[in-house]
Structure 1
Amino acid sequence: MVFAAWGNPSGLLMFLVCALVVVFVTNVPSAVAKSGNAAPAAFNGRNDVFTSSFLVRFRRSVDNDLAGEVAARYGFDNIGPLVGGNGNEYHFKHRTLPHARTRRSITHTRLLKSHPLVHTAVQQPGFKRVKRGLRPAIPAIHGLPFESTFGAKPIGLEPSDPYFPLQWYLKNTGQNGGKMRLDLNVQAAWDQGITGKNVTTAIMDDGVDYMHPDLKFNYNAEASYDFSSNDPFPYPRYTDDWFNSHGTRCAGEVAAARDNGICGVGVAYDSKIAGIRMLDQPYMTDLIEANSMGHEPHKIHIYSASWGPTDDGKTVDGPRNATMRAIVQGVNEGRNGLGNIYVWASGDGGEEDDCNCDGYAASMWTISINSAINDGQNAHYDESCSSTLASTFSNGAKDPNTGVATTDLYGKCTTTHSGTSAAAPEAAGVFALALEANPSLTWRDIQHLTVLTSKRNSLFDAKNRFHWTMNGVGLEFNHLFGFGVLDAGAMVTLSKQWRSVPARYHCEAGEIVEPNPIYTGRSMFLEIKTDSCKGTDTEVNYLEHVQAVISANATRRGDLELFLTSPMGTRSMILSRRANDDDHRDGFTKWPFMTTHSWGEYPHGTWKLEARFNSPQPRSGWLIEWSLVLHGTKEAPYRTLSPASPHSKLAIVKKAHEDRKMK
């Protein structure tokens, strides 16, 4: 076995083990750059797309000026150093190559490599990333008078913003058929004087209308950038159908101003938002993603992403090398060592997709957020998976046009924002409140607080597939909703007395490398017995995330289901059937299926993996290898905290931990 510490800068090296992803190049989106350049035609099937961007590695660290001289010599522009590249990796873009082509340019690669300082030059593949959320072709737009009503915000008073009565996710009074008090409980946080001050959330999207009167006073220009056009002005590109309204809508959910007579109010209305424009282009590259996720990590506290691989139920994709490095560096070094918080929309593929096949949402370094509608049901587009940590809200039950009320382009407002796109920024706003309440919270503290303060409330699976279940230490979870709906008041209250959790470690608990056949009609079971690294410096006794890193293939990948059962008996579905996935060739290669359902459990003992086909048709396949990776702490994480109530999650988990130590 190999053991290594996690949660410190050395953990950066471990992403190769713990975040391996399968890379599939898919169609190129038909968006065009902000400059108005036409996009190339989409490339269909598995044809590769190569962009005009190159990752250039120098033989030693060089400054930006020298890199620029090398770039100019061969007809390139130096876009800048790569996040996490230690000064020897740069992003070059060729001035005349097309935005995307079907073949690599060997000529330009050789030119760059001919320079004595250049070690390698890699032309960047292009791939597809899509915005999440239901968007009508022409959004519902409402103009409002902009008379100011700024003033004091007395505790207990509701915001006077004209759209606040429509913001049922902030205060659910049963409007539009909703369930009373099924909301984010933000008033309880605001009543404590916590409104998001001194916290910045970056909206990684298609731009932000930073001139919007409900956003402009909360806009952090210093932390903003446009990685699609390479300038400091991430303003959305105009289209007739307002396709690029996505980021502005997400920004309003976090930080729309209060009591100014405009639109509604943000969850953290005194916080700041930064715009990182990176989606609106003919293709995505690893370099754009990496630089976006590592932009100004000490000025930005939270990164909110409402996008990902295509939600078509047949895509298996995730972050590439440079992007993964940027995220790992962010959680290890961002916010002056406390770690950046990455919030991710879990996906809109519905029951035909599984968000564990999305390497961004399923990453243990991100917080994956699903959505519910205003009567407590899951939305029809919600994906389910074992990596989802918690949920917020999307649209209304009786009227699908009653979505999230928020800011829209050009000073307008909308009531039709929805999807898990709407859910992730709401979570970012709640986390901004927690960070104001306790600026010393680490990225892991935020995840622990999420688990301990999220509520089951009235959430339920509309089709009765997934029930609320208790894990081995008494934490209630649901395969759709994670640990429940975020509760801003409870999170702020607990944040104020919080003490950071102990150091985190990872343990490679065991592996099975011989292939095992899988057939229709019966399950295949494998077991790994582990002491969870007992007696070593990286012993794990209290779980956070669990990864089953699996290689498998099948005559039809979409019919394969996988289940992981912990020694304390918690059964996680780590892969569900995906009806649209006809793959018979690629399968999964060292894919890190992740579950949060065993949070807080004792990992020592036998872990069981079940593989089966869910299909009336004959299927066969092989589970080629399985390695079990445990992430958590050696010491009890909540030993210094005093629960406010003996019935709280904190009290229940503490008692379970104390009982185990006495055995």
Structure 2
Amino acid sequence: MYFVIILIHLNHLVSCFIEDEKKEINGSNGIKRDGEFTNRIVFTTTREDDPSLWFNDNYHQYEYIGQFWIGKTKYITAQISQKKTKEALSTLKEDPDINVLRQSSEISWVIQEKAYVRVKRTADTEWPNLWYLNDDVSPSMKIDEAWAAGYSGQGIIMAVLDDGLQTDHPDLAVNVDTDHDIDIYGFDHNPYPATGRSHGTEVSGLIGAVKDNNMCVVGVAFRCTLIGVRIAGTYALSDSEEAGGLNHYISNVDIYHNSWGPGDSSGFKGPGLLAREALQSGVTNGRNGKGVIFTWAAGNGQLSDNCNADGYVNSIYTVAITGVDNSKNAWYAEVCAPALAAAYGGSRDDRYLTTTTTASGCKSDGIQGTSYATAIASGIVALTLEANPNLTWRDIQHLIVFTSNRSGFNDTYSNWSINGANKEFSQVLGFGLMDAEAMVNYGTNWTTVPTQQNCTSATSFPDLSTNTSVSDSIHVTSGDCATINFLEHVVANISFSYSNMRGVTKLYLVSPSGTRSHLLHYREHDAVDNGTAGTQSWAFMSVHFWKETPNGIWTLEISSHNKSVTVTLNSWSLEFYGTSTDPWPTHFSSVVTTDTTTDVDTTTSTVTVTLYAVIFGSVGGTVGLLLIVAVVILIIKRTSISRNKQTNSESGPSYINEIPPDHQDLDMTIIDNMM
């Protein structure tokens, strides 16, 4: 009885918390529901002259705002005139006057924008508390070792897209580029957060707080340059605003850190047309064609949510990162086939992280979530790019897969598996814990991966219905996909229907090698929120088939978690991305193992020790035994030293999710929506 009362009380608190957030978002711009029309339009024009000189005169219903670029395309923004806005303007349907623009020979393309709620994913004085940096944890992410090799993030520019940044924080100011900070809402260069908004300042501290300044903490990439992009928090976001943030200062930015996205637990939501173009343009045109790195927090919906319903996280252009705590996936981590790897994200079950906060403060309490795990991962990527600035966006993804490891962590959702390329992976933790030392070590001499190839299977229309489980197969031959022998990403375009409760639908993709990836599992909140019959079409992505062959029989299983609900597989097809030749150099491929637990290159050490043992074995007696023991110790030490030397020579969005300190024991909910 007491347990029931407690649950009711917690649910009431959660409901109140969500409603407070909704009121704040709704009150700021009039948006009542996700996806309502705004008073803004975006268009392209056939004219080459400045639109600010002619647009208002030619189209009196609208007022010019500004322009931005995605790749080589110039987009112009305008708003419905203030006079007209005072009238009853519907947010549920398109403004009819937009047809005037569509019929104009000067306007080549135009849309009226919608707004979407996005939420956050949530000798320095605090050095003893920085357990995730100072090796006071096992297994270690070996960030201190990467520092010892001489890497600090020097020369790497990191744009932090979040709810703002306290640019004059004494532990951050030296590293902030105030000339290129931006407030997407205010159209100015002041990203200073609104009162009560500290998430962006917190993740920035984990990324790039200054080292050895007797202030608070040190960031992973403590000499990188930080650019604050205020994009999340108080307001709902339009597609063009997201796109503008994701391509801000694209000519110079190396990494775009994103700890935000749609709210957790329910729905299928992702980037709009312009934001998708911005992501593709970033990896195509950024860093002089090498591609920028988009890191993304995987979400905090816990095991009752699935990150594949988040179109930002499941993009092939983003690096999805989840969180771990002591010996297992963090309690807030989601089932996540797109997740490449994990980092320490703090946890109520173990220890919180420590970082900078607003009002020039320093904070530990409540710092947990994939937001913060991703900040640490972004810092590691910065160290790696410093080690080798020529690495491409796909090189970084391959390096993460190559160097991350299970490291003894348990997956509390399902068992770890080994794919057809002998790489161990988890349905929650991707390929395991990131290793900064290995990233800079192997990254230094990394050979650029071959050109990305892609192909698409035929579409199957099985029209299979079940209240238990049923499957359908697609046979991919070498002729169907002749350009790919080594897979990277696999995208499954699936259409399914449900008699009610959408969230009971479960989808599993099985490769020709027998690798089983959980594309979608039972989502309780989605079942409750979507209780009527319907159809869902979505692109699901998985990295679990990395380096496998696409050729053979692929099987898609669909099942219902509830026998009272019938689910139907309407159609599906597969998109394959990968390379024709092995992307990992031969001398690297042999290093790939499952769950290595030692810092020593065991293959080299074993061979060398065996050789010495044979040589000294003939000595016999006590002297020979002592010599063998001495040599074993010497070789192990020299191997470790050798690796270090090699490193020196080679080497209004949802925060994902900052968990409110006052609600640490509550079920994860959208906080506005940082992760």
Which residue number in structure 2 is paired with residue 289 of structure 1? Answer: 242
Which residue number in structure 2 is paired with residue 531 of structure 1? Answer: 477
Provide the rounded CA distance (Å) in 2 between the counterparts of 1:49 and 1:80: 23
| Match among 594, 610, 613 for residue 557 of structure 2 | 610
CA deviation profile, 1:57-93 (whole Å, cap 9, x unmatched) = 2234444544665688545132213424623x21223
CA contact (8 A) 1:441 1:500 kept: yes
1:488 aligns with 2:477: no
- Between 1 and 2, higher relative CO (CA 8 Å, sep ≥ 6) is seen in 2
| Match among 634, 656, 659 for residue 580 of structure 2 | 634
1:395 aligns with 2:346: yes
Provide the rounded CA distance (Å) in 2 between the counterparts of 1:357 and 1:383: 11
1:115 positional shift: 5.8
Which residue number in structure 1 is paired with residue 615 of structure 2? Answer: none
CA contact (8 A) 1:228 1:280 kept: no
- TM value normalised by structure 1: 0.81
1:125 aligns with 2:114: yes
SS in 1 for 2:242: helix
Letter in 2 for 1:378: N
1:245 aligns with 2:190: no
| Match among 77, 99, 120 for residue 91 of structure 1 | 77
1:412 aligns with 2:412: no
| Match among 451, 463, 481 for residue 503 of structure 1 | 451
| Match among 509, 512, 535 for residue 460 of structure 2 | 512
1:218 aligns with 2:175: yes
Which 5+ residue runs of structure 1 have no aligned equivalent? 1-25, 134-159, 174-179, 653-663
CA deviation profile, 1:17-69 (whole Å, cap 9, x unmatched) = xxxxxxxxx99944469xxxx5256525x7x5221211122234444544665
CA contact (8 A) 1:27 1:128 kept: no
* TM superposition outliers: structure 1 runs of 4+ over 6 Å: 648-652
Letter in 2 for 1:78: I
1:649 positional shift: 9.3
Which residue number in structure 1 is paired with residue 140 of structure 2? Answer: 183
- TM value normalised by structure 2: 0.80
Provide the rounded CA distance (Å) in 1 between the counterparts of 2:126 and 2:405: 26
Letter in 2 for 1:333: N
1:123 positional shift: 1.6
Letter in 1 for 2:68: P
1:572 aligns with 2:517: yes
CA contact (8 A) 1:551 1:624 kept: yes
1:278 positional shift: 1.1
Which residue number in structure 2 is paired with residue 164 of structure 1? Answer: 127
CA contact (8 A) 2:56 2:62 kept: no
Change (3 A) 1:604 1:472: same
1:385 positional shift: 1.6
1:377 positional shift: 2.2
| Match among 287, 294, 297 for residue 342 of structure 1 | 294
Letter in 2 for 1:620: T
SS in 2 for 1:347: coil
Larger radius of gyration: 2
CA deviation profile, 1:110-139 (whole Å, cap 9, x unmatched) = 565576522443221111111112xxxxxx
Which residue number in structure 2 is paired with residue 200 of structure 1? Answer: 157
CA contact (8 A) 1:77 1:94 kept: no
Change (3 A) 1:272 1:606: same
1:339 positional shift: 0.4
Change (3 A) 1:68 1:274: farther
Between Structure 1 and Structure 2, which shows a larger proportion of helix residues?
2
1:109 aligns with 2:72: no
1:595 aligns with 2:553: no
Change (3 A) 1:111 1:608: closer
Letter in 2 for 1:544: E
Provide the rounded CA distance (Å) in 2 between the counterparts of 1:647 and 1:576: 29
Provide the rounded CA distance (Å) in 2 between the counterparts of 1:67 and 1:455: 58
Which 5+ residue runs of structure 2 have no aligned equivalent? 1-18, 603-675
| Match among 300, 304, 321 for residue 352 of structure 1 | 304
1:581 positional shift: 1.6
Provide the rounded CA distance (Å) in 2 between the counterparts of 1:101 and 1:255: 44
Identity of aligned residues (%): 32
1:101 positional shift: 5.4
CA contact (8 A) 1:82 1:91 kept: no
Letter in 2 for 1:196: G
| Match among 324, 329, 333 for residue 382 of structure 1 | 333
SS in 2 for 1:512: coil
Change (3 A) 1:70 1:610: farther
CA contact (8 A) 2:25 2:236 kept: no
Q: How does 1:536-555 map to 2 (within 5 A)?
A: 536=482, 539-555=483-499
Higher mean C-alpha deviation, range 216-225 or range 564-573: 216-225
1:424 positional shift: 1.1
Provide the rounded CA distance (Å) in 1 between the counterparts of 2:591 and 2:267: 44
CA contact (8 A) 1:29 1:283 kept: no
CA deviation profile, 1:369-411 (whole Å, cap 9, x unmatched) = 00012x1222222111211110011224556xx4221110121
